[in-house]
Amino acid sequence: MIQSFLEELIKEIQQSSADGPKHIIRFRSRKDYAECLRSLRGTGSSVKQKIQRLAMIYSLSCPLRSAARLSDYPFIAGIEADPQMTVHALPHASSAKGSALPAGTKPLIPWGVKRIKAPLVWNLSKGEQIGVGVIDTGVDYSHPDLRGAIGRGINLVNRGMPPVDDNGHGTHISGTIAAFSGTGIIGTAPKAVIHPVKAFDRNGSAYVSDIIYGMDWCVKNRIPIINMSFGMRKYSRALEDAVRNAYRAGVVIVASSGNDKRSVDIDYPACFPQTISVGATNRQRRVASFSNRGRYIDIYAPGNKIYSTWLHGRYNELSGTSMATSHVSGVIALMLARHPGLTPRRIKSLLKRQATSLIHLRKTGRTIQEVNAKKTILSLPDR
């Protein structure tokens, strides 16, 4: 039956257009998935190049002309569209080229890093050697504030190439998490290690399948934190399965809630309970006007006019729940360097319990809480 399925699969792939819709095919078991992979070995390379393996959820991603007949096989759990999603940053008013710091200036601590009180615990933790997988647009390897902070990475847009940033968003996120050079800016956890996973292209778009592959890469490489500063409104069973599996593997997933000003729903994957969902605040200690909000958000962090690293060794100011999320990922790196045994569930609980209360909403009984690095780190038990 597998052979019949493969013949049908190859036919649908070959007859799909070059820019045809991609789909994610989910198998019911590891055994069925493995059997399909074994049978695929004898397939021509032109077809195999169009098939992406998603081992963590026993799935394949590929372009299909139609998924109707393939879904009838009993070992197929489901076939869904492989949609694209975008990074969570608002269009920035400053120059796309960014700006340079004046020569000879002292290291700059951006307002968001100060606000969450990260510098007050750097004597206890700087996130030493804690890996953060940044699934994004890549990173500027040449940036002086990031050069010493970049570990292994992977490029899913141009396979085989290093994950070099051609957009700027991933470099900006990385700077807020772990920048440090002595002359530029300082991030939340200046001794953490960024593992860039380039799943997003220069336009800030990525397929769900590439994000899942990137998550799997992080899990296999034992990277304890994944920063996901992106999202979409459409639900994906495959993405939920991947988030759940990473969570079960002990990985902390930090996800931005979205920039649509919504008061009820937030974007996926932040909507999944296994993530730490993040909203954005401004300098006035209020929820940023663009930020999604509501009961699905676990915690807030600075996300308005955040100054961080940019392409070509420069700097830029961006706003979005993406920027807020990177602050929280940095705090978690501080936590894990101080106490490596913390579980994702415990980390979420501590972040919320030790957060700074900003506003109490009488109608809902909820309190808007902003991450507080000082209180969180000081609350940790000794190793």
- Identify whether residues 34 and 152 lie together within a single domain: no
How far is Cα 239 from Cα 82, in angstroms, rounded to an integer?
Answer: 10
Tens digits of residue pLDDT in 296-327: 999 999 999 999 999 999 999 999 999 999 99
Residue 122 has pLDDT above 70, yes or no: yes
Examine residue 383 and state whether it is found in any structural domain, yes or no: no
- What percent of the chain lies above the pLDDT cut of 70? 94
CATH number of domain containing 55 = 3.30.70
Do 147 and 57 share a domain, yes or no? no
Report the SS3 class of residue 306: strand
CB crowding 244-282: b at 16 or more within 10 Å, else e = bbbbebebbbbbbbbbbebeeebbbbbbbebbbbbbbbb
Which of 42, 59, 82 is where one domain is finished? 82
Do the Cβ atoms of 154 and 324 come closer than 8 Å? no
Catalytic residue among 92, 169, 172, 327: 169
pLDDT at 178 over 70: yes
Mean per-residue pLDDT for 126-139? 98
What single DSSP character describes residue 99? B
Per the prediction, the chain carries an average pLDDT of 92
pLDDT in tens, 15-35: 887 677 899 999 999 999 999
59 is catalytic: no
State the pLDDT at residue 111. 98
Q: Which of residues 43, 62, 82 is at a domain's end?
A: 82
pLDDT exceeds 70 at position 96:
no
What value does the mean pLDDT take over residues 240-264? 96
Q: Does any domain span residue 92?
A: yes
Catalytic residue among 32, 136, 165, 241: 136
Angle between helices 30-40 and 2-14 (to 10 degrees): 60
Task: Tell me the average pLDDT across 95-119.
Answer: 81
Question: Do residues 124 and 74 share a domain?
Answer: no
Mean pLDDT of 323-345: 97
C-beta separation of 355 from 284 below 8 A: no
**Distance between CA atoms of residues 198 and 165, nearest Å:** 8
List residues bridging with 57 in a β-sheet: none
Least confident among 7-11, 163-167, 210-214: 7-11
Q: Domain range for residue 19?
A: 2-82
Flag whether pLDDT at 105 surpasses 80.
no
What's the pLDDT score for residue 95? 47
Burial class (CB in 10 A: 0-12, 13-18, 19+), 132: buried
Does 169 participate in catalysis according to the annotation? yes
If one counts the domains in the chain, the total is: 2
Alpha-carbon distances, residue 256 vs 146, 238, 292, 298 (angstroms): 22, 19, 9, 10
Check if 322 is active-site. Answer: yes
- Which residue of the set 125, 256, 319, 322 is catalytic? 322
